[in-house]
Structure 1
């Protein structure tokens, strides 16, 4: 379900052949589609969802997400040079290249309604919400439900059911 959103319907074998940025973009897009923000996060029901990309290697992901939407919200993509601008985002993807700065950035966003997605070791421990990871040659993800709830966001239970691991959500 999650990883096939950007491609035409395909089987699992076809998905394995897709480039990594395309797979990550599909996951990120679907996380925005299956997350819920407090009503005050958007000026109106059709306001853009601001998706920020931070770090090396995010340009390819951004190209895959160009002209996409998360439900009624068109995506507004922003490339960030530094994390200080992240509070203006609804969702933030932090590449592994930002690992040295990710704990401080995530601490600043802890109580804000910003869906944080990353792909580095320790991302959930640093307070990130969704971490993409390589498992047996495939991209999978894990969720920090405590961080998600603390920010006032919600995730569809189907997303949680597909996660490799859910922190703060009881046994999987």
Structure 2
């Protein structure tokens, strides 16, 4: 049986245009393609996105489709102005993310990129991206969305795990971990998840 995802053409992973705003919008198009190819194929002149550009678009949209379950007074004075994406020593991904999100916003909040050396001082981070094995010393921080790409990330308490399946970038969600941090993951992301952990 052919599913909606199986029927997606490779062009679902392509976007036309080179501006950062178009790339940001393309991230949402990628999610819609995963859901059911709701967007038509891009023009023949479209360029193939690199894996890191696709990953960057996913990270941006994870932020857009996650929100605090209640008002967070922890950063009341700065929260309306900035959404802080934190990375740990991943220069190539940081560069791709900066290109994809240049001039973009998460709601009304300006995107800010912070590179950190150690898992400390994360109180100003809204989303933290981690590689394999970096979760061991992560403190529990209310309102912090954690995304990683190592095997078993969800089982170790991470919230969203990026993975490759059949040549495509997919993701799993640990909804219980997100709820424990006071975060709500949108129904759209939950429906797209390749794996959902609730306990």
| TM-score, reference length from structure 1 | 0.81
> Is the CA contact (8 Å cut-off) linking 2:80 and 2:108 kept in structure 1?
yes
Larger helix share, 1 or 2: 1
Question: Is this contact kept in 2: 1:66–1:77, CA < 8 A?
Answer: no
Give the direction of change, closer, same or farther, for the CA distance of 1:92–1:70 in structure 2 (3 Å limit): same
For structure 1, list consecutive stretches of 5 or more residues without a partner in the other structure: none
Unaligned runs of 5+ in 2: 1-12, 16-22, 30-38
Name the counterpart of 1:6: 24
Question: Could you report, residue by residue, the CA deviation over 1:97-120 in whole angstroms, capped at 9, with x for unpaired residues?
Answer: xx3332221xx12x5210001111
Runs of at least 4 residues of structure 1 off by over 6 A?
Answer: 12-16
Q: Aligned Cα RMSD in Å?
A: 2.7
Answering whether residue 159 of structure 2 is matched by residue 159 of structure 1, we say no
Q: 1:90 to 1:119 in 2, by over 3 A?
A: same
What is the deviation of 1:54? 1.5
Q: For the Cα contact (< 8 Å) 1:53–1:62, is it kept in 2?
A: no
- State the aligned residue count: 161
Match of 1:100 in 2: 133
Q: 1:62 to 1:26 in 2, by over 3 A?
A: closer
Cα distance, 1:47–1:61 mapped onto 2, change above 3 Å: same
2:57/2:97 contact within 8 Å kept: no
Secondary structure in structure 1 of the residue aligned to 2:133: helix
TM-score by length of 2: 0.71
Computing the radius of gyration from Cα coordinates, the structure with the larger value is 2
